[in-house]
Amino acid sequence: MDVAENESIESKLMSSEQRSREWLENSPVCTKIIDIDFNLQYMSRAGIAGLKIEDVTAYYGKPYPFHFFPEWSKKSMIEGLEKVKKTGQVTTMEMSALDLEGKELWFYATLTPMKSEDDQIENIMVVSTDITKRKEAEKRLEVKNQEIAAQIGKYEKLNDELHQSNVELIRAKEEAEAERRQKLTSLIDGQEIERGRFAKELHDGLGQMLTAAVHNIRKIKHLGQLNDEQSQVLDETLSINQLIIEETRRISKNLMPAVLEDFGLVLALQNMVNSTSSSSSTIRFHGCKQVPRFSKETEVALYRIAQEALNNAIKYSNAADIYIDLKNEQDKVILSIVDNGKGLDVMEQMTNEATGLTNMKERAELVGADFTVESDGSSYTEVKVVLSQ
Average pLDDT for residues 146-173, to the nearest whole number?
Answer: 90
| Element holding 14 (H helix, E strand) | helix 3-26
Whether CATH 3.30.450.20 fits 3-130: yes
**pLDDT value at residue 9:** 46
Lowest mean pLDDT among 168-172, 218-222, 297-301, 381-385: 218-222
Predicted confidence at residue 148, as pLDDT, reads: 92
Express as a percent the part of the chain with pLDDT over 70.
Answer: 81
Cis peptide, bond prior to residue 65, ω within 30 of zero: yes
Domain 257-388 CATH class label: alpha beta
Among 119, 127, 71, smallest CA distance to 97 is for 71
Q: Of 50, 53, 51, 125, which is closest to residue 84 (Cα–Cα)?
A: 125
Count the Cβ atoms, other than its own, within 10 Å of residue 355: 19
Q: What is the pLDDT of residue 143?
A: 92
Long-range contacts of 361-364 (CB under 8 A, 24+ apart): 362/184, 363/188, 363/301, 363/304, 363/305, 364/301, 364/305
Average of per-residue pLDDT across 232-253: 73
Report the alpha-carbon distance of residue 156 to residue 161 in Å, rounded: 8
Question: Which of 172-203 are b and which e, b meaning 16 or more Cβ less than 10 Å from the residue's Cβ?
Answer: eeeeeeeeeeeeeeeebeeebeebeeebeebb
Distance CA 252, CA 34 (A): 117
pLDDT on residue 381? 92
Q: Which amino acid is at 378?
A: S
d(CA 65, CA 262): 106
Is the pLDDT reported for residue 1 higher than 60?
no
Residue-wise DSSP of 297-319: HHHHHHHHHHHHHHHHIIIII--
Domain boundaries, the chain: 3-130, 132-256, 257-388
Q: What is the pLDDT of residues 270-324, one digit of tens each?
A: 988 888 877 788 999 998 877 888 888 888 889 889 988 998 888 888 899 999 9
d(CA 36, CA 213): 137
pLDDT in tens, 94-138: 988 777 777 888 889 999 999 988 889 999 999 988 898 998 999
- Say whether pLDDT at 195 is over 70: no
Q: CB of 360 within 8 A of CB of 308?
A: yes
Q: Does the fold of domain 257-388 match that of domain 3-130? A: no
Tell me the pLDDT tens digit for each residue of 120-130.
Answer: 999 999 998 88
